[in-house]
Amino acid sequence: MPDITLTTLVVLCLAAAAAGWIDAVVGGGGLLLLPALLLGLPHVPAAHVLGTNKAVAIVGTSGAAVTYARQAPVKVATAVRIGLVALAGSMTGAFFAAGISSDVLRPVIMVVLVAVAAFVMLRPQFGREAAGDTDRKVTRACAATAIVLVGGGIGFYDGLFGPGTGTFLVLALTAVLHLDLVTASATAKIVNVCTNGGALAMFAYQGSVMWQLAALMAVFNLAGGLLGARMALRKGSEFVRGVLLVVVFSLVAKLGFDQWS
């Protein structure tokens, strides 16, 4: 455990809970958790912050994934296949990350996110497919596209750049597999468990995880994740759609601040 004040510890735990809730509903909890760790632990090496972030996030994501899998009509086998490909894509993206400037990528991602927000607002029925219709509409071609495009493409983006990966997963799964937003969130959680697990294993191997701090924050992250998953299941796709738009605009603001500050 690093030498931090009680106030900082409380703030980090509350941030972990809020991040778990956001991540469970629509993805993007890292937009809150990682900056909180960076600000709360300014003298800790970045690798240790990233490793601790993964150790915290995987607990909340796993709890949310289990909650969703029990109540949402998610195809676990398909989600795991996508997750394994996403893991390989993430490792490939990380390999190339050193040679690409994030200053070039941020404006591109901001344009994409604004377009996504406009699409979701102009298409009110997006993500409102009846969950029971999913089996009829998903063909083998759609499943293969999801594995290659969603797993490989977004996994590559996660390793290369990162912010908003969970949100992109929800949107892509909704579009490619014709899922309602609740089922897409459930599937995205399983994919996230796969990618987070691979990253955490690497950080742990390198000794870059503050396990005591991570364990404490993980309790709050798990509580937030369980609450978020249950709220999404209870309130349905319209609730998830509203949170999705808030997260997308927050991500645009965050990327814009990083780009021009």
For the stretch 22-37, pLDDT in tens is: 888 877 777 778 778 8
- Per-residue pLDDT, 216: 95
DSSP the chain: -----HHHHHHHHHHHHHHHHHHHHHS-THHHHHHHHHHH-TTS-HHHHHHHHHHHHHHHHHHHHHHHHHHS---HHHHHHHHHHHHHHHHHHHHHHTTS-HHHHHHHHHHHHHHHHHHHHH-TTTT---GGGHHHH--HHHHHHIIIIIIIIIHHHHHHT-TTHHHHHHHHHHHHH---HHHHHHHHHHHHHHHHHHHHHHHHHTT---HHHHHHHHHHHHHHHHHHHHHHHHH-HHHHHHHHHHHHHHHHHHHHHHHH-
- Per-residue pLDDT, 163: 62
Query: If you average pLDDT over every residue of the chain, what do you get?
Result: 79
Write out pLDDT tens, residues 238-247.
777 777 778 7
Could you list the pLDDT tens digit for every one of the 261 residues in the chain? 667 889 999 999 998 998 889 888 877 777 778 778 877 888 888 778 888 988 998 899 899 888 888 887 777 888 888 999 988 887 787 677 555 555 665 676 667 667 767 766 776 665 555 444 444 455 677 778 778 888 888 888 876 666 667 778 888 888 888 888 888 888 888 888 887 787 788 788 888 889 999 999 999 999 999 998 888 888 876 777 777 778 777 777 776 776 676
- Per-residue pLDDT, 136: 47
